[in-house]
A and B are shown apart, each in its own frame.
Chain A
């Protein structure tokens, strides 16, 4: 199956274990650990693992459309060699959704809407990693999410699955001499990206630093409240820098975060398992974690969304600045760029030789943070 596999799977070595020794955790073929005596011999099972696999396979393949070439989320979970116990564990893990779906779809009393809701939940539960989806699959999941929101909240949202465009590589420049510390960008970002209001999550941090002492982040204040700009201080904004060689991506055990072709580093909130490895790997404090369910008042929700961007998140997943993918891929400036009253924020296409961002890189003294790490952030600082 190896090379035909479309989805990333975490290899826990289940296959090997089966080949080497029965099903004992000690790894020895016989005796020694004490659990072999009570363990029934593998052959005693009424159906073998292979047979079980075959049975599941057959069930799934009835849907001839999917059976031909592509394997969607449902199969991705089941279509793999596993022993009976693992298979059942897998099944129970998804039982909550499944039971709901079966219950509602079999019941004569529940309405059409409830059945549709259950159907959507089922499909969403078993969908694959967004990164590996075809354009149709991406559109399908986005449509499901829009419909699901409509069914639940009786409100319409717009959600895009727009892919990266060719000949686009997004870059950002920040003028330290211009930033006055007003924090209009922070406010705009929170609103645009539906960030949790309870924990007051903010992707952007504005650091107030003392003049003439270099960039000392440990001594800087990123939560000041006094008239700005304060005498003898300058301001420096940080957020996710969309590294071209992002360390956060390499550490993700499930490939829930990756770098898109246009340079945006994104997260599939439905694939993220919340391990926070990426947060630890980011040298720039670019990532934020949802410790609780993000809450946004209904009338403040930005309904212009992107799957990889500002769509509503759930508890226990990672999120961060996406350079406002829902806006930038449509040709609009990110919310922070639009909100900044000083023009300190410059955004554009690094591949376009006539873009303003290119002019800044070529004509101003630019630098990046921790350049020696080789992360290649696409976020430059400069001064007048």
Chain B
């Protein structure tokens, strides 16, 4: 009886150890990810080449550091003060027809919540400004969006909202808000799917 007891406890012990520590023998994928992730070492794979010729800037927000496309270089007639040499009030005194931006119609929130001046500063057109009047650089325009869209901002920082650029490895690069959403008309419209499978259609007839 005693012998049996010893044998039994040895088996139990073996069971205990082999259960946890044998490679690839985890109870669940979740456990495996947690365990193997503990001694994670950078595999040394780089995604840098896949960012291509996009000019990026590095930002750090809430503990996440990543690259986003630079903006000011992409605006055709930046700096804005090249044209906006006088304040908006003075410029608007001229002819009735606008010389530029005639295509911009604001379709974002409602008129009570938002107008041009919510983001643009009539006296400093080279920068944007926050709700409290702090200056925000065009390259950091996501800070404007984050004032209202805080849930999306959280997801974007973590990587659940928005689009990754290039590759999954370091350095992380992601599109910023205005790369997908036109800030003056942020809704994304419907369209047709890019393909239709005629073979599948025939098969199922």
Interface membership of A161, Cβ < 8 A: no
Q: Which of A325-384 contact B (CB under 8 A)?
A: 328-333, 337, 340-343, 346-353, 355-361, 363-364, 376, 378, 382, 384
Q: How many chain-A residues does the 8 Å CB contact rule pick out?
A: 61
Contact with A along B161-181 (1 / 0, CB 8 A): 111101111001001000010
Q: Which stretch, B3-11, B32-40, B96-104, B122-130, touches the partner chain A?
A: B32-40
Q: In the complex, what distance in Å separates the CA atom of A22 from the CA atom of B197?
A: 57
Q: Which of B19-50 contact A (CB under 8 A)?
A: 28-29, 32-33, 36-37, 40-47, 49-50
Please tell me if the beta carbons of B159 and A352 are within 8 angstroms of each other in the complex.
Answer: no
Contact with A along B93-125 (1 / 0, CB 8 A): 000000000000000000000000000000000
Please tell me if the beta carbons of A351 and B33 are within 8 angstroms of each other in the complex.
Answer: yes
State the Cβ distance, A195 to closest chain B Cβ, in Å.
Answer: 11
State the Cβ distance, A107 to closest chain B Cβ, in Å.
Answer: 44
Interface membership of B88, Cβ < 8 A: no
Nearest chain A residue, comparing its CB with the CB of B169: A331
Please tell me if the beta carbons of B159 and A356 are within 8 angstroms of each other in the complex.
Answer: yes
Contact flag A167-B40 (CB < 8 Å), given A223-B197, A223-B201, A331-B168: yes
Please tell me if the beta carbons of A360 and B198 are within 8 angstroms of each other in the complex.
Answer: no
Please tell me if the beta carbons of A331 and B160 are within 8 angstroms of each other in the complex.
Answer: no
Q: In the complex, what distance in Å separates the CA atom of A134 from the CA atom of B57?
A: 43
Q: In the complex, what distance in Å separates the CA atom of A199 from the CA atom of B200?
A: 8
Interface membership of A88, Cβ < 8 A: no
Contact flag A331-B47 (CB < 8 Å), given A343-B164, A346-B160: yes
Interface membership of A56, Cβ < 8 A: no
Please tell me if the beta carbons of A333 and B199 are within 8 angstroms of each other in the complex.
Answer: no
Interface membership of A278, Cβ < 8 A: no
Instruction: Choose among A227, A244, A337 the residue that contacts B190 (Cβ–Cβ < 8 A).
Output: A227
Please tell me if the beta carbons of B36 and A351 are within 8 angstroms of each other in the complex.
Answer: yes
State the Cβ distance, A46 to closest chain B Cβ, in Å.
Answer: 51
Please tell me if the beta carbons of B168 and A228 are within 8 angstroms of each other in the complex.
Answer: no
Q: In the complex, what distance in Å separates the CA atom of A198 from the CA atom of B175?
A: 36
Interface of A, helix, strand, loop or mixed by DSSP: loop
Q: Which of A171-202 contact B (CB under 8 A)?
A: 173, 175, 178, 180-184, 186-187, 198-200, 202
Please tell me if the beta carbons of B47 and A332 are within 8 angstroms of each other in the complex.
Answer: yes
Contact flag A200-B199 (CB < 8 Å), given A228-B191, A343-B175, A363-B160: yes
Please tell me if the beta carbons of B168 and A347 are within 8 angstroms of each other in the complex.
Answer: yes
State the Cβ distance, B54 to closest chain A Cβ, in Å.
Answer: 13
Instruction: Choose among A165, A225, A333 the residue that contacts B43 (Cβ–Cβ < 8 A).
Output: A165
Contacts of A364 in B (CB 8 A): 155, 160
Please tell me if the beta carbons of B160 and A360 are within 8 angstroms of each other in the complex.
Answer: yes
Q: In the complex, what distance in Å separates the CA atom of A329 from the CA atom of B44?
A: 11
Interface of B, helix, strand, loop or mixed by DSSP: loop
Q: How large is the interface on B (under 10, 10 to 19, 20 to 34, 35 or more residues)?
A: 35 or more
Please tell me if the beta carbons of B37 and A353 are within 8 angstroms of each other in the complex.
Answer: yes
Please tell me if the beta carbons of A352 and B37 are within 8 angstroms of each other in the complex.
Answer: yes
Among A175, A222, A331, find the residue whose CB has the most chain B CB atoms closer than 10 A: A331
Interface membership of B196, Cβ < 8 A: yes
Contacts of B15 in A (CB 8 A): none
Contacts of B198 in A (CB 8 A): 200
Please tell me if the beta carbons of B196 and A376 are within 8 angstroms of each other in the complex.
Answer: no
Interface membership of A229, Cβ < 8 A: yes
State the Cβ distance, B199 to closest chain A Cβ, in Å.
Answer: 4
Q: In the complex, what distance in Å separates the CA atom of A197 from the CA atom of B47?
A: 31
Contact flag A244-B43 (CB < 8 Å), given A200-B200, A333-B50: no
State the Cβ distance, B186 to closest chain A Cβ, in Å.
Answer: 13
Contacts of B155 in A (CB 8 A): 364, 384
State the Cβ distance, A241 to closest chain B Cβ, in Å.
Answer: 11
Contacts of A154 in B (CB 8 A): none
Please tell me if the beta carbons of A331 and B50 are within 8 angstroms of each other in the complex.
Answer: yes
Among A167, A328, A347, A378, find the residue whose CB has the most chain B CB atoms closer than 10 A: A167
Q: In the complex, what distance in Å separates the CA atom of A357 from the CA atom of B169?
A: 11
Nearest chain A residue, comparing its CB with the CB of B160: A360
Please tell me if the beta carbons of A330 and B190 are within 8 angstroms of each other in the complex.
Answer: no
Contacts of A355 in B (CB 8 A): 159, 168
Given contacts A166-B43, A341-B180, 10 further A-B contacts (CB under 8 A): A165-B44, A167-B40, A182-B194, A183-B193, A184-B194, A224-B193, A346-B159, A355-B159, A355-B168, A382-B160
29 examples of A-B residue contacts, CB within 8 angstroms: A165-B44, A169-B36, A175-B161, A186-B194, A186-B195, A200-B200, A225-B193, A227-B190, A228-B190, A328-B168, A331-B46, A331-B50, A331-B169, A341-B180, A343-B162, A346-B160, A347-B164, A347-B168, A351-B33, A351-B40, A353-B37, A356-B158, A356-B159, A356-B160, A356-B164, A363-B158, A382-B160, A384-B155, A384-B161
- Closest CB pairs A-B (n = 3): A356-B159, A343-B163, A359-B158
Residues of B within 8 A of A (CB): 28-29, 32-33, 36-37, 40-47, 49-50, 151, 155, 158-164, 166-169, 172, 175, 180, 188, 190-201, 204
